[in-house]
Chains A and B, each alone.
Chain A
Amino acid sequence: MDHPGLPQLIIILIYLGLLLALGLFSSRLFKGTKEDYQVASHSIGPFLLLMSIFGTTMTAFALVGSSGEAFREGVGVYGMLASSSGIVHSLCFFLIGVKVWKLARRHKYTTQIEFFRDRLDSDFVGYLMFPILVGLVIPYLLIGVISGGAVIQSLTGGLAPDLPMFQVFDAEGNANPALHGGVPPWLGSMVICVVVLVYVFFGGMRGTTWANTFQTLVFMILGVVTFFVIANKLGGQESLLDNLKTLANSVPEDKVTRSAMSKTKFFTYLFIPLSVGMFPHLFQHWMTAKSSHAFKLPVVCHPFFIMIVWVPCVLVGIWATGLPADMHLPANPNTILPFLVKTQTGPILGGFLAAGILAAIMSSLDSQFLCIGTIFNNDVVTHLAGKDRFSDRQQVMFTRLFIIGIVAITYFLSLGNVRSVFALGVWCFSGFSALFPIVVAALYWRGLSAAGAISGVFAAITSWCILFYQGTKVPMEQGGLSKFVLELPIGGESYELMPVVAMMLSSTVTMILVSLVTPRPSEEKLAKFFG
């Protein structure tokens, strides 16, 4: 067990084995129907709904990225990304989740596209949204698959330095001390994909929900434990409070304030979490709720759960900025947390943390794979062939086959360019946010016409493409795509805005203007939704 990387690998394998067992066990409760496979027969109660929704919305970024961003930007990242999500995510569950749940139960929808097609009385809106939603989910999937491989490699470093495929050398031909001998990313990512595929394939939504609940508990508990262990090790004092004070006092002033952060950029980041209102995988999770009352616990507890995960990670991130130079911190901020775990704690906690990070990653991947399989079956195959053409059993088979296909495609795409995919993360969220006005109008505005919604979607995607193209012109030394902001000059001063503001503005204005001059759906149709 003293062999470098071995304890971590064993813990990771045990954890993945537990997940497989959970998925296979849940498949024994499978009733064989499409409804059971895709939405667990609408049987999920408050606790499982809370855990599965939280696990789905939190990715690897919650643990690794939060500490990395805090290391780079300081404490401001909590307000920019976490407290804002606490307000806005619950607002989306409250305003959109409950309402679509009611409509979906009444009219038997499982996917967003089924809802939009019926609400707008337009087939085209479905064909338009299908590639856009799938196209926006795929980069999100890639982030998870790539992060999974990278985490396994960094935490099993030193495992098999003699195996050629495990070796990592830098440009000068020297072994990379952090990664050399670790499980190569292509293998780690493949294992993650296979494990998620197995429990989603056999367990469907019930397996996914159970696995999400288990994984959410794992990453929340391990995040907090890691925080206390690192604080006590780095502080070097007698008591926990003294350690916390010592570490906080060592942080440079610009990291405990937001002196280097733009106030308008901070404000406009509020629009990014609106993306959850249009996540197709979250929509499908909402459909699993047993009753509307099941939403109450997620609505109330979501901000608290975000706080439990993010506050410790942000503190660890800023502490790292005050550490002495001879600790040789890694250049990549996203590896700060794994680095501190590896150097400040034992291999056992390192293994558990790896399991925690993988839990955060896989609890998003599973829902996304299942959702894309469901969209392909319900909105393309069944929609084109006719609802009565295929039996439930055949539709479950189609959903499973599409899941295998999307897992394979995602895996092969993950072997490509890594850097550009990470930069796509915030852009894919911005794309979903740009579509947010469409779902709000569909639920609350009788005047929304099919042409208005379609124009709004086109405006969202066109503005996304234009701004993305502008973003690609930002040199990598200045942060590339992920650092692109709009500059708003007012009174001789220039204010930074997130690109999502322009995207949302263009989709909203276009949607309203076109809806005002085009016929809305029939009164009979509107009565179905607003009666």
Chain B
Amino acid sequence: MKASKSRGPLIIAVLVLLLLILHQDNWFWTDATLVFGFIPIALFWHACISLAAVATWFLATRIAWPLSDDVEDHEGGA
């Protein structure tokens, strides 16, 4: 856990960069496929990007949170 904590910010930085690259989905630019028969694939892909962002930020709160509990107590937080 300690190792993943120390590498956490790097892992999150790589994942955010990956999200930004996947966001520029040139490969679906002119694709008119309807996923499940009703969602245009461009919309479906970007909804998946939103869900991938949720997963990435969840991971960030676990392995790369910028403040430790000691700092929290010191600053007068709950």
Given the known interface contacts A94-B66, A105-B77, the answer about A256 and B29 at a Cβ–Cβ threshold of 8 Å is no
- The answer, yes or no, to whether A87 is at the interface (CB within 8 Å) is yes
CB pair A75–B67 under 8 Å, yes or no, is no
Task: Please tell me which one of the listed residues B49, B61, B72 contacts residue A87 in the complex, with CB atoms under 8 A apart.
Answer: B49
CB pair B53–A245 under 8 Å, yes or no, is no
CB pair A270–B20 under 8 Å, yes or no, is yes
Interface residues on A, range: 35 or more
- Residues of chain A within 8 A of B58, CB atoms compared: 300
In the complex, what distance in Å separates the CA atom of A318 from the CA atom of B38? Answer: 12
Q: Secondary structure of the A side of the interface? A: helix
CB pair A79–B25 under 8 Å, yes or no, is yes
Contact mask A241-276 → B, CB, 8 Å, 1/0? 100110111010100111101010011001000000
CB pair A256–B40 under 8 Å, yes or no, is yes
Contact mask B57-74 → A, CB, 8 Å, 1/0? 110110001110001100
- The answer, yes or no, to whether A335 is at the interface (CB within 8 Å) is no
Which positions 74-131 of chain A face chain B at CB distance < 8 Å?
75-76, 78-79, 82-84, 86-87, 90-91, 94, 98-99, 102, 105-106
Which positions 126-176 of chain A face chain B at CB distance < 8 Å?
none
- The answer, yes or no, to whether B4 is at the interface (CB within 8 Å) is no
Task: Please tell me which one of the listed residues A84, A290, A307 contacts residue B51 in the complex, with CB atoms under 8 A apart.
Answer: A307
Task: Please tell me which one of the listed residues A42, A266, A306, A318 contacts residue B50 in the complex, with CB atoms under 8 A apart.
Answer: A306
Report the minimal beta-carbon distance from B3 to chain A, rounded to whole angstroms: 21
Which positions 216-259 of chain A face chain B at CB distance < 8 Å?
241, 244-245, 247-249, 251, 253, 256-259
- The answer, yes or no, to whether B11 is at the interface (CB within 8 Å) is no
- Residues of chain B within 8 A of A314, CB atoms compared: 43
Report the minimal beta-carbon distance from A36 to chain B, rounded to whole angstroms: 15
* Chain B, residue nearest A106 (CB): B75
Given the known interface contacts A256-B34, A258-B30, the answer about A270 and B23 at a Cβ–Cβ threshold of 8 Å is yes
CB pair A253–B32 under 8 Å, yes or no, is yes
CB pair B32–A303 under 8 Å, yes or no, is no
CB pair B38–A248 under 8 Å, yes or no, is yes
- Residues of chain A within 8 A of B37, CB atoms compared: 241, 244-245, 248
CB pair A257–B30 under 8 Å, yes or no, is yes
Given the known interface contacts A90-B53, A248-B38, A301-B54, the answer about A258 and B29 at a Cβ–Cβ threshold of 8 Å is yes
In the complex, what distance in Å separates the CA atom of A19 from the CA atom of B10? Answer: 44
- The answer, yes or no, to whether B14 is at the interface (CB within 8 Å) is no
In the complex, what distance in Å separates the CA atom of A105 from the CA atom of B58? Answer: 25
- Residues of chain A within 8 A of B66, CB atoms compared: 94, 98-99, 292
In the complex, what distance in Å separates the CA atom of A221 from the CA atom of B20? Answer: 29
Task: Please tell me which one of the listed residues A86, A87, A291 contacts residue B77 in the complex, with CB atoms under 8 A apart.
Answer: A291
Top 6 A-B pairs, shortest CB-CB distance: A291-B77, A244-B38, A256-B40, A303-B53, A83-B46, A307-B50
Excluding A292-B72, A301-B54, A311-B47, 14 further A-B contacts by CB distance (< 8 Å) are A42-B76, A78-B47, A83-B49, A94-B60, A94-B66, A102-B71, A257-B30, A257-B32, A263-B26, A263-B29, A290-B77, A292-B75, A303-B53, A314-B43
Report which A residues bind B (CB closer than 8 A): 42, 75-76, 78-79, 82-84, 86-87, 90-91, 94, 98-99, 102, 105-106, 241, 244-245, 247-249, 251, 253, 256-259, 261, 263, 266-267, 270, 290-293, 296, 299-304, 306-307, 311, 314-315, 318
